């Protein structure tokens, strides 16, 4: 009897998972015929994506964070342009597709087994209010790396369950403080704030931080429609 760990590819797979801090069999889920672990291991043998590596390895400026005591739970104003979508958590899948070598479709359990990052940052809405918030979730860069972007990828397009859409430059999406959050102020993210998954980052204005994210598409060119508020005249980059 051979366990899957006796397979010839188990050595690079296991060592890579250890390097990435992603040990644990529970994290291995099926994605388009490959297990997630196989897709991670596959990265070892893929041609190097020089531009992506440069973005990942170049230390990006980290925004100073606040102590937990500075959190302002009452200051975060819900800002929902249409409605709060109903999302069935059991059926929920986050897709990562577009110009990638390994498209992904991940359930919430798989996402929550990826390394958790927590940060206390200031959320700034263009409408003139701000709030210090603690977000917990996974780094968007970890997901993007797993999907193995092709060399011509320059933007990330984000689709939400309420019809909201956004696009980010790749460098900002790969910033170490750009999270797909599922916790707020130490508690599970409520529906009104974007459950099960929303973007959170100290480097962009609030409207860039899509709630109810369902799809992430890596693209080389931006479509005509760049973002819900951008298409109404707001700035696209919206950096802080
Ligand atoms: N899908 C979606 N994401 C969204 C919005 C929205 O209406 N729909 N509003 C944006 C705006 S303008 C802000 S300031 C923040 C507000 O997040 P909050 O409702 O959790 O405070 O979400 C952003 N993300
Ligand atoms: Mo906003």
Ligand 1 contacts CB of residue 193 (under 6 A)? yes
Helix ranges (H only) for 58-103 are none
pLDDT band for 8, please (50, 70, 90 cuts). very low
For the stretch 184-219, pLDDT in tens is 999 999 999 999 999 999 999 999 999 999 999 999
* DSSP state letters, 18-40: HHTT---GGG--EETTEEHHHHH
Q: Report the separation in Å between the CA atom of 231 and the middle of ligand 2, taken as the mean of its atom positions.
A: 15
**pLDDT for position 57:** 75
Q: pLDDT tens for residues 60-95? A: 889 999 999 999 999 999 999 999 999 999 999 999
3-state secondary structure of 159: strand
- 1 pLDDT above the threshold of 70: no
Q: Which of 79, 75, 60 is CA-nearest to residue 140?
A: 60
- Residue 2 within a domain: no
Rounded to the nearest angstrom, the distance between the alpha carbon of 79 and the centre of ligand 1 is 5
Helix, strand counts (H, E) of the chain: 6, 12
Give the bridge partners for 187, in sequence order. 184
79 lines ligand 1 (CB under 6 A): yes
Q: Any idea what DSSP says for residue 48?
A: P
Kindly state the DSSP code that residue 115 receives in the 8-state scheme.
Answer: P
The range of the structural domain enclosing residue 25 comes to 8-232
Please state, in angstroms and rounded to a whole number, the distance separating the CA atoms of residues 130 and 156.
Answer: 25
pLDDT confidence of residue 58 = 75
Average pLDDT over residues 45-63: 73
pLDDT of residue 165: 97
Judged by its nearest atom, the ligand closest to the C-alpha of residue 162 is 1
pLDDT reported for residue 50: 72
The Cα–Cα gap between 42 and 26 comes to 19
**Is 52 a residue whose pLDDT tops 90?**
no
Q: How far is the CA of 130 from the centre of ligand 2 (A)?
A: 9
- Ligand index nearest the alpha carbon of residue 133: 1
Query: So what's the pLDDT on residue 160?
Result: 98
Residue 19: give its domain's CATH number: 3.90.420.10
Residue 17 forms part of a structural domain: yes
Check residue 62 and report its DSSP letter. Answer: P
Pick from 115, 156, 104: nearest CA to 137: 115
| Residue 195 forms part of a structural domain | yes
Rounded to the nearest angstrom, the distance between the alpha carbon of 210 and the centre of ligand 1 is: 6
Distance separating alpha carbons of residues 17 and 68, to the nearest angstrom: 31
103-131 pLDDT tens trace: 999 999 999 999 999 999 999 999 999 99
* CB of 214 shorter than 6 A to ligand 1: no
CA 108 to CA 92: how far, in whole Å? 7
User: Cα(193)–Cα(137) distance, rounded to whole angstroms?
Assistant: 14
pLDDT-derived band at 20 (thresholds 50, 70, 90) equals very low
**Window from 31-35, 118-122, 179-183 with minimum mean pLDDT:** 31-35
The answer as to whether 38 is a domain residue is yes
207 CB under 6 A from ligand 1?
yes
Is residue 162 a part of any domain in this protein? Answer: yes
User: pLDDT tens for residues 129-176?
Assistant: 999 999 999 999 999 999 999 999 999 999 999 999 999 999 999 999
pLDDT of residue 7: 40
Decide if 206 is inside a domain: yes
Domain count, the chain: 1
Quick check: 24 pLDDT over 50? no
Residue 146: what pLDDT? 94
Asked whether residue 95 is assigned to any structural domain, the reply reads yes
Residue 3 lies in a domain: no
């Amino acid at each position: 009897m051979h366990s899957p760990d006796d397979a010839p590819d188990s050595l690079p797979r296991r060592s890579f998972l250890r390097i990435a801090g992603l040990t644990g069999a529970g994290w291995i889920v099926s994605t388009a015929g490959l297990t997630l672990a196989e897709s991670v291991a596959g990265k070892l043998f893929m041609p190097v994506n020089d531009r992506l590596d440069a973005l990942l390895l170049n230390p990006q400026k980290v925004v100073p964070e606040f102590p937990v005591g500075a959190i302002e739970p009452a200051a975060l104003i819900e800002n929902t342009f249409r409605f709060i979508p109903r999302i069935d958590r059991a059926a929920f899948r986050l897709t990562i597709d577009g110009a990638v070598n390994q498209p992904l479709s991940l359930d919430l359990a798989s996402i929550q087994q990826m390394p958790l990052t927590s940060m206390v940052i200031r959320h700034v809405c263009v409408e003139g209010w701000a709030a210090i918030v603690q977000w917990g979730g996974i780094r968007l860069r970890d997901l993007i790396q797993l999907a193995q972007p092709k060399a011509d990828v320059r933007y990330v397009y984000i689709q939400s369950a309420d019809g909201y859409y956004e696009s980010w430059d790749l460098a900002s999406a790969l910033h170490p403080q750009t999270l797909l959050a599922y916790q707020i102020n130490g508690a599970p993210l409520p529906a009104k704030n974007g459950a099960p998954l929303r973007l959170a980052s100290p480097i962009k204005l609030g409207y860039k931080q899509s709630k109810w994210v369902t799809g992430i598409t890596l693209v080389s060119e931006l479509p005509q429609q760049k973002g819900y508020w951008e298409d109404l005249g707001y700035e696209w980059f919206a950096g802080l």
